[in-house]
Amino acid sequence: MKKQIQSVKIIFAMAILSIFILTGCSKDSEDVVSPPIESNWHHQISNVTNNLKDIYFIDSLTGYAAGNSAPNDTNKLLKTTDGGLNWFRKPVGVTNASLTALYFFDGLTGFAAGSNAAIIKTLDGGTTWGLCAVGVSDYLFDIEFFDTQYGLACGINGTILRTSNLGDTWQVALTPNLAELYSISMPPFTNGEAYVSGEYGTMLYTNNYGLSWQQQNTGVTNHLKSVCFTDPDSGYVCGNNGTILRTTNKGVDWSVVNSGQTTVLNSVFFVDSRTGYICGDGGLILKSVDAGVSYGSEIPVTVSFLRRVFFLNPLNGWIAGETGIILHTEGPAH
């Protein structure tokens, strides 16, 4: 009988110990915080200290960065011919506007847009520039082209400009509201479709090269600073207060993604159907490898505000930002 009682006591003690161990392990696992993703972004020397608003590469060697020169808010254009190892100034000469957006077709033909509704065009790789006929004075934030004839630009007061003659002249399109419009995305493999994101959760859509626009319901009121579509259905948006949205049905429905951030997210760029990057204030860089379902933050390499991320291909990307910052990556960090 005594042996039976001792056996029961031993079994009971072992059960209590097991519960304690399991409980302790469970608590420890809940407290584990995933470390930031290792970053392989590194600095390039821009030789300027003022704000850079956009960066654009046409191949692995030739690229441009644009911004403004404080305190006069005049244009600043940089060019590299060795992948960003060396950057040099390219005088614009036709406008004193701050430059906020770039688009290049090839090594010769390109555009820049900015304040005072300035749209300038080069036909010789940025050596000389001409001022395009716009007809308005609104600040422009982005410029994109469907093809070698049709293009769009967007800015404040709900302004969307469209061209059908390779940017020589631009006309004002009718838009549904007067929100500031920050970013344009033209999904690949479509005919005349484009999205424009803006303040107070604004998202506009066109399917006729910008002739007419309809408003989509994003379900948020935060400013949406950047939009990027990777195919006719899949799109991604980032903005103020750590806002990230994604759609898989052409923007009919937008779902909120938990970014874990509260800062301003300025630019989103997906290099393929699964891998995308977002940059923001305070040197923040986020990366997704699951088609925008989740994001991890990379170890910061700067505290400067990062304004635009651009990838030439999945292994070659750049980021431009305040204080003349230019970052470059040559491959995935993990």
Looking at residue 261, its pLDDT comes to: 96
By the 10 Å C-beta count (0-12 exposed, 13-18 middle, 19+ buried), 333 is classed as middle
Beta bridge partners of 101: 113
Dist CA 246 CA 292 (whole Å): 7
Which residue has 């000469």 as its token pair?
93
193-203 b/e with 16+ CB inside 10 Å = b? bbbbbbbebbb
Which residue has 């960065």 as its token pair?
65
Which two tokens mark 28? 């420890």
257-260: long-range contacts, CB 8 A cutoff, minimum separation 24: 257/292, 257/293, 257/294, 257/295, 258/294, 259/286, 259/295, 260/295, 260/297
The separation between the first and the last C-alpha atoms of the chain, rounded to the nearest angstrom, is 63
Selection from 224, 325, 206 nearest residue 278 by Cα: 224
The amino acid occupying position 140 is L
The SS3 assignment for 125 reads: coil
Can you list the domains of the chain with their CATH numbers? 49-329 (2.130.10.10)
Dist CA 28 CA 320 (whole Å): 40
Residue 154 dihedral angles phi and psi, to the nearest 5° = -135, 160
Q: Kindly list the averaged pLDDT for each block of 10 residues, start to end, along the chain of length 334.
A: 40 40 35 59 94 97 91 83 96 89 97 94 96 92 97 97 97 96 97 98 98 98 98 98 98 97 98 97 97 95 97 96 96 50
The SS3 assignment for 88 reads: strand
